[in-house]
Amino acid sequence: MRVSGLLYPFSNSTAFKVEALLENGQLHIHYGENRAAKCALDALTLSTSIPGVPVQATLPSGERFVPNDPNFVWPGRASPTSIASLERHTMVILSALILTPLLIYALLFKVVPASAVWLVEYVPESVVDTMGQQSMYVIEESFLSPSELPLGTQQQVHTLWKDALKALDLSDDQYQLSIYDSEHFGANAFALPHGQIVLTDDLIEALKDNPSAIRAVLLHEIGHVERKHSIRLAAQAFAGTIAMSFIFGDMEGIVELLIGSGNVVMGAQFSQEMEWEADQFALDRLAHLGHSNDDFAQALQRLQSLTHDNEAPSQTAPKWLEYLSTHPSLEERIKHAQSYQTD
């Protein structure tokens, strides 16, 4: 049997058009100037069979022979292979097109978040401290500047903070409060995994006439730390990266693209759940301390008014953009806080 194709010599990118001879269990190929390659057929290393792609044969001496005919079947190899048969089966292809996106969705939005919740219980405290300190260093250097509030105002907030920690029996060694000015964050507050809570000058100014609302915000941020939300996000990103790499193998360009966009969406949806958990924590603790749930509702209403003041009157977001929001809508959170009832 004669088979035409291309021969690639070992350690050489030059391809030779050749005609291979297969007889008596041997492969014979002549190429170039009196050069030859030969070996037993059962000594060949054959590539994986892929529909429409020739199966190339690698000789023990390193040469590669690629048949011109993509349907050529090497002696001793069944035709077609079970995988090749599946790849030609219309129903299998259609099923894969439907099931693959469902599998990816299940992995990213069900398995990964669930595994992240499980993983956080095994993260050493030293790792949590390092993550928090490094994050704070970057944020402080990039977006924060010393507070410009009067010392008396800052002291009032710190008193609220210490009273809340004492009432909740939380250690002031684990939790620290910092106040900064920040043009970037505006009226905002955030919590880092190692227990550092940051309030901005603008937020305190916005709520200065309602200390109870400031207390409610502090409890909300403590909720993020107590529920280990930052660690869960990190664990989710890690698990998501592994899942995407597992699905797409060594397709590095696609993996990087999908991991980049996927983590944004996954992180946004997961943090919506976290915001609800932190809201619930704040409301539960307010009730435990004998304060009103309206304290938190009023804090959210004030933030909502600030948000509206900074938006153009005609500025409306498409409904589908809510899916990408990192927080539930303030309107929903306000209604939830107002309707809160203890069990």
Of 84-98, 250-264, 324-338, highest mean pLDDT: 324-338
Report the pLDDT value the prediction gives residue 148, as an integer from 0 to 100: 97
- What pLDDT does residue 326 have? 52
Q: pLDDT by residue (tens digit) across 181-208?
A: 999 999 999 999 999 999 999 999 999 9
pLDDT digits (tens, 9 = 90+) for 240-289: 777 777 766 655 544 554 445 444 444 444 578 889 999 999 999 999 99
What Å distances lie between residue 218 and 65, 207, 233, 305, CA to CA?
Answer: 70, 12, 21, 19
Give me the domains of the chain, ranges plus CATH numbers: 2-81 (2.30.29.30), 118-338 (no CATH)
Predicted local distance difference test score (pLDDT) of residue 268:
45
pLDDT at 233 over 70: yes
- Whether 310 has a pLDDT exceeding 70, the answer reads no
Mean pLDDT over the full length of the chain:
83
Tokens of 305: 């008014």
**176-181/196-200 β-pairing:** parallel
Q: What is the pLDDT of residue 85?
A: 64
Instruction: Determine the Cα–Cα distance for residues 16 and 5; give it in Å rounded to an integer.
Output: 8
The arithmetic mean of pLDDT across residues 11-37, rounded, is 86
Task: Answer whether 153's CB lies under 8 Å from 204's CB.
Answer: yes
Can you read off the two tokens belonging to residue 65? 């022979």
Give the pLDDT of residue 314.
Answer: 43
Phi, psi of 84 (to 5 degrees): -60, -40
Which of 36-40, 182-186, 313-317 is the most confident on average? Answer: 182-186
Q: State residue 71's pLDDT score.
A: 86
Per-residue pLDDT tens digits for 118-158: 877 888 899 899 989 999 999 999 999 999 999 999 999 99
